[in-house]
Amino acid sequence: MKIIIIGSVAAGTSVAAKARRNREDVEIVIYEKDKDISYSGCGLPYYIGQDYITRDNLTPRNPDWFKKRFNLDIKTKHEVVAVDHKNKKIEILNIETGDKFSDNYDKLIFATGASPVLPPIQNIENDFIFTLRNVSHADKLYKFIETEKPDKAVIVGAGYIGLELAENLIERGIDVSIMELSKLPMSNLDEDVSVHIRKELEQNNIRFIGGEKLTAIEQKDNQKFVLLESGERIETDFVVLATGVKPVSELAKSIGVKTANNNAIIVDKYLQTNLNDVYAVGDCAMAFSSIDSSPMWVPLGSTANKMGRVCGDHITGGKLSFQGILGTGIFKVCDLAVATTGLTERQVQRSGIEYIVHHNFKPNQTEYFNTSSEMMIKMIAEKSSGKILGAQIVGKNGVDKRIDVIATAISFGATVEQLFHLDLAYAPPFSTTKDPVHYSGMVLNNAKNNDNPIITPQEVLDNPGKYIIIDVRSNSQYNEGHIPNAINIPLAEIRNRANEISKNKELVVHCNKGVSGNAAQNVLLNLGFERVYNLSGGYKNYKLISEI
């Protein structure tokens, strides 16, 4: 059997490695139009910004390494330009020589990845305009920075690459402006999470321009400008277009392979397309949600590696199948780590599931350590069952640990009650006695059972005048800032002053972050008040969301 793989980054090489581990008698050939293989695309921003990270760190393996280790052939600078699936033949262009030749296959795997989405503007091919998708792109930008010593940069797009690159350009002493079509960075997250990213950018003197459209990039004399739809002109030394990526699937579509609306190749749980013996893996292929099996396209190296392993196993007689993804991801911008797994609140709303949500502000470890810092966990669960649907976390320390615990819990169908009962590791340098994950599970379980219902700041903002709002913070905190028309009754006084509160309207109690608000909620419920909500994340969360 002969296996031909088109593409040799994470997914393609994973297919080849697993297939070889399973069988020695198959022939494996990979064609790659780039000069680099098996590189770390996620490491590209750090190669730009960190002196100790080299090109060799991103490209640790070459075709010779794979030949010696796995007895397979990787032909770089070779582009597959046509496929004749009826006769199981492909046509290949040697990019360096211009020669064309053909090859045959028994199994064909598309691992063609994704390519940058470029805005529809003129003069986009210019020596001061960059994209950052592969190592060659990074080389070009790195050389420009080294030789031109630029002072100012504009990044168009505030997704993973744009935000990570902004941090690394700041590390190199370059002033950075980020413009984004959405009003907040990282638009795939909920706005009450993205607002923390905007705040972090502002605190690090990175200008964020949200809700703006790029209309042109101009060069006049020695000056360069980015033009916005609002009419603003931003002077810059160079521009990086980080406006997203799209699946590379044109070749697959040319032979009748079916694709989704976003052009990602549709595959089954074995990564097979609608054509026999034709497969697709990695960023060019459509995955699915392990929560509800809906189509899901999240182009990440972790998913590409899993897809590749499953495909390589299946085509050589193995029993692995792809189990879907949660869309788990994490990135760092300046001092802030941002992570997500499962469904966002927007996605849950579109699904029609009745849900509960909680914003939990807690330290990552015991607070007397100087490395202790606050994180915010936004967790969403199904109201009827308590099944965890998703979480988003922002914070400086300990974010990766918590998102992985939650992703694992979701993968096994855990409920919020089970989350509270997890036997997690504790010692003061690593956690608090009641871990933030425990606390999220506890609060959501109480809300599920209607013991302690939660209300989000957005619900309060959307319904002015509907609720009596009781601020249980101190008088001084209240005077520094409060929700309009909120009544200040400090927690210590709530029992004695409960007769001042009407029992005929719905109440919202809150403190600064939620804990004292929960205590006040319990007091009022025990005193016979029937409709008392605790404000999710307290005044701190309300203030952030009200500024969106």
Catalytic residues: 42
Residues 6 or more apart in contact with residue 404 via CB below 8 angstroms = 328
Please work out, in degrees rounded to the nearest 5, the angle formed at the alpha carbon of residue 36 by the alpha carbons of 33 and 37: 90
CA atoms within 13 A on the CB side of 223: 7
State phi, psi for 202 to the nearest 5 degrees.
-60, -40
Locate 326 and state its tokens: 């949660």
What is the enclosing helix (H) or strand (E) of 235? strand 233-236
Please work out, in degrees rounded to the nearest 5, the angle formed at the alpha carbon of residue 294 by the alpha carbons of 290 and 297: 85
Helix axes 301-314, 10-22, angle to 10 degrees: 30
Cβ count within 10 A of residue 23: 16
State phi, psi for 166 to the nearest 5 degrees.
-55, -45
Please work out, in degrees rounded to the nearest 5, the angle formed at the alpha carbon of residue 125 by the alpha carbons of 122 and 130: 115
Strand partners, 4: 29, 108
**Overall size of the chain counted in residues:** 548
Cβ count within 10 A of residue 215: 15
Cα distances (Å, whole numbers) of residue 114 to 7, 330, 349: 11, 20, 29
